[in-house]
Amino acid sequence: MTEQPRVLIFDTTLRDGEQSPGATMTHAEKLEIAALLDEMGVDIIEAGFPIASEGDFAAVSEIAKNSVNSVICGLARANYKDIDRCWEAVKHARQPRIHTFIGTSPLHRDITQLSQDAMAEKIHETVTHARNLCDNVQWSPMDAIRTEHDYLKKVVEIAIKAGATTINIPDTVGYTIPRESAKIIEMLINEVPGADGVIFATHCHNDLGMATANSLAAVEAGARQIECTINGLGERAGNTALEEVVMALKVRNDVMPFRTGIDTTKIMKASRLVSTVSGFPVQYNKAVVGKNAFAHESGIHQDGMLKNAETFEIMRPADVGLTDTNLVMGKHSGRAALRQKLKDLGYDLADNQLQDVFVRFKALADRKKEVYDDDLVALMRDTVAGEDLDRIQVKFLRVICGTEAPQSADLILTIDGKDQQVTAQGDGPVDAAFNAVKKLVPHNARLQLYQVHAVTEGTDAQATVSVRMEEDGRIVTGQSADTDTVVASCKAYVGALNRLLVKRDAGRPVSYKDVG
Ligand code: KIV
Ligand code: ZN
C-alpha cells in the first residue's frame, strides 16, 4: 500500500495568535505552550517576531534552545535588520527556520510606496540574505489573495530562485472562498518555474468563517503545509484552527487521504492551555474543543448515543483527549485526587503549585457543594493569571448594594507590596468596585468589554468575568472566576490593569509597514 501524503502542521499561536488584541502571553506561558506543541507533533512552531521586542526575542531564543522535534521559526519583515535578529533567535534550534514576508497586493505596495519592480528587487535581496544565514527559509507574499495573479507568479518565482524552501500563500484578510483558494495554489504549482522544488503553504484568516474550508481546499490543490493556531486564535476573527483541520483530515481520511503527525489526544489540553493563557474563553459551540462539542441534550440524541455513539458523533471525545468528565470533586477530595484530576485536564503541577491550588480548591469547595471540571479550569485560569502579574492584588472587598442607591465599595489593594485602602460609590456594585480601583490606580484606559459567564449551573456557580481595556492603542484583557460575581469582576479589572503595566514596560508594537 502506498503511503498517504503528509501535510505539515505549522502552528503560529505564539506569533499570529499572540498578535490578537489582548492575548499577550508571558515568557513562561510561551515556553509552556511551545513545549506542548512540540510534544503533540507540530512540525513547525512559529515562536514569535524577534525584532518586535526584547521579550519576543528572548522567548523565541529559549523556545529554540528547548526544542526537541519541531522546526522553530521566527518572523521577519523584508529587511536585513529583521532577518538578522530573527536568525540570532532561531539559530539555537536543532532545526531553525526564518520566515520573511512583504505585502505584495496593490494596497500594500501603496503603503510601502514600492513599485512592482522595486518590490521584486527587495524580495530577491532579502530572501537571498535569509538563505545565506539559514538553509530553511519561508517566504510569504502578504495579502497574496488580493495580489494580481501575474505579479504573484513573478514574485513567487523570484523567491524560489533566491532560495526560499517554503512558499506560504496568506489570505491575510480572510477574503477568499474554497474554490479560489484551491485555484491559486494550483496556478502557482502549475505555472511557476521551480514550484516542484518547494513546499506550498496555506495561511488563512477567518473573517468570513471559511478559514478551515479554505485551508483544506488548498491542500486538495497541492499545498502541503497548513498554518494554524490552537482555538483559531489570531487577529480579528482569527486563523484556521489547528484542531479543526487536523480532525477534519483524520475523520474524512476517506475523501482527503492525507496524514499529519499530530497526536490528537493532546488537542484538548492544548486548547485549555491556550484559553487559560490568552484569556480568550473558547465559545461553547466551537468545533472540536467547545464545551458543547460532545454534549447531547435532546431526548432523541441521548437515546441514540446510549445505543450507538456513532449515531450522533463523528469522533469520540477520547480522540481529542477528553476524559470522563463525570468525576465530581468536593470538599472531601484530597490532594492526590486533585492532582490526578488536574492532570487529566492538562495541568501538570509541581508540588508547591499544587499546594497553592489545593488551598484555593478547598476554599471553593467550602462555598460550592460540587466542583466540576469547568470550575477547576476557571480556578486554574485564575491562579495562573495571578502568578506573574502581581504588582496589584485585591486583598479585601466589601460592597454594599441593594435597592437603595448609591452602592458603595470598601477596597484594599496591595500595590507593589503596600496595602492601600479606599471607599468609593457607583451605579451598582460592579461600578462601585471599579471606581474604588480607579481611585487607587488612576489611569486613562477605556473599558471596551465587560462580560460575565456562569461556569456551571446553579446559584452557587462560579462566574468567570472577562474585562478588556484599551490605552493608547494597547489592548489588554483580564479574567477571573469566583462564586461572588463582584469579586470576580474586581479581580478581572485589576488583572487587566496588571497586564497594562506589563505592556507599558514592553513598549509599542512594531508595524508591518516598516520594511525598509
Ligand atoms: O496573515 C498574514 O499575512 C500573516 C503574514 C505575516 C504571513 O500573518
Ligand atoms: Zn496571519
- Indicate the SS3 state at residue 376: helix
Question: Read out DSSP for 157-209?
Answer: HHHHHTT-SEEEEEETTS---HHHHHHHHHHHHHHSTTGGGSEEEEEEB-TTS
- The segments of the chain whose pLDDT lies below 70 read 1, 296-307, 324-327, 381, 384-390, 457, 502-516
Q: Residues 290, 219, 294, CA angle at the centre, nearest 5°?
A: 15
pLDDT at 304: 65
Let me know how many helices (H) and strands (E) the chain has, helices first.
16, 14
Site to probe by mutation for ligand 1, drawn from 15, 20, 101 as the one with most ligand atoms within 8 Å of Cβ, is 101
pLDDT reported for residue 507: 52
Nearest Cα neighbor of 269 from 294, 245, 249, 288 is 288
Give yes or no for residue 170 CB within 6 A of ligand 1.
Answer: yes
CA of 142, closest atom in ligand 1: 3
**C-alpha 142 – ligand 1 centre gap (Å):** 6
At CA 18, angle to CA 265 and CA 220, rounded to 5? Answer: 55
Give the pLDDT confidence of 259-284 residue by residue, as tens digits: 999 999 999 999 988 987 887 888 88
Ligand 1 centroid to 248 CA: how many Å? 23
Which listed ligand is nearest to 172 at the C-alpha? Answer: 1
User: Phi, psi at residue 397, to the nearest 5°?
Assistant: -145, 125
pLDDT, tens digit (0-9, with 9 covering 90-100), for 449-497: 888 877 776 777 788 888 888 888 777 778 888 889 999 999 999 988 8
Model confidence, pTM: 0.81
Q: Looking at residue 367, what is its pLDDT?
A: 78
**Sequence-separated (6 or more) residues with CB below 8 Å from residue 291:** 282, 284, 374
Indicate if ligand 1 lies below 6 Å from the C-beta of 52: no
Find out whether the beta carbon of 260 lies less than 6 Å from any atom of ligand 1.
no
| Ligand 1 pocket test, candidate residues 107, 203, 513, most atoms within 8 A of CB | 203
**Per-residue 3-state assignment (H helix, E strand, C coil) for 48-87:** ECHHHCHHHHHHHHHHHHHCCCCEEEEEEECCHHHHHHHH
Beta-sheet strand order (sheet of 446-454) = 446-454, 463-471, 474-482
| Nearby residues of 179 by Cβ (< 8 Å), 6 or more positions away | 217
Question: CA–CA separation, 213 vs 227, rounded Å?
Answer: 13
Contact status, residue 195 vs residue 201, Cβ threshold 8 Å = no
Is the CB of 142 inside a 6 Å radius of any atom of ligand 1?
Answer: yes
Grid cell at residue 245: 483541520
Alpha carbon of 284 to ligand 1 centroid (Å): 28
The packing angle between helices 211-220 and 242-251, to 10°, is 50
168 CA to centre of own chain? 20
Ligand with smallest separation from the Cα of 240: 2
Tell me, using a 6 A CB cutoff, whether residue 240 lines ligand 1: no
Q: Kindly give the interhelix angle for 27-40 and 373-388, rounded to the nearest 10 degrees.
A: 130
Quick check: 102 and 78 in contact, CB under 8 A? yes
Residue 101 Cβ inside 6 Å of ligand 1? The answer reads: yes
Pairwise CA distance, residues 218 & 206, whole Å: 15
Separation of CA 122 and ligand 2 centre (Å): 21
Residue bearing the CA closest to ligand 1, atom 8: 16
Residue 16: CB within 6 Å of ligand 1?
yes
Contacts of 197 (CB under 8 A, 6+ apart): 160
Grid coordinates standing for 329? Answer: 470533586
Query: In what side-by-side order are the strands of the sheet with 392-400?
Result: 392-400, 407-415, 418-426
Q: Is the CB of 9 under 6 A from ligand 1?
A: no
Nearest CA to ligand 1 atom 2: 172
How far apart are alpha carbons 199 and 502 in whole angstroms?
39
Q: Is the CB of 100 under 6 A from ligand 1?
A: no
Look at ligand 1, atom 1, and give the residue with the nearest C-alpha. 172
Give the β-pairing of 474-482 and 407-415: unpaired
Of ligand 1's atoms, which has the minimum distance to the CA of residue 239?
Answer: 1
Q: Give the Cα separation of 44 and 12 in Å (integer).
A: 9
**Closest by Cα among 247, 219, 265 to 314:** 247
Do 126 and 79 form a contact (C-beta atoms < 8 A)? yes
DSSP state of 327: -
User: Distance of CA 359 to CAs 206, 335, 362, 383, Å?
Assistant: 41, 10, 5, 11
* Ion ligand 2: residue ranges with CB closer than 5 A: 16
Q: Does the C-beta of 203 come closer than 6 Å to ligand 1? A: yes
Nearest CA to ligand 1 atom 5: 142
Which pLDDT belongs to residue 161? 98
Return the C-alpha cell found at 484: 461572588
**Greatest CA separation for the chain:** 77
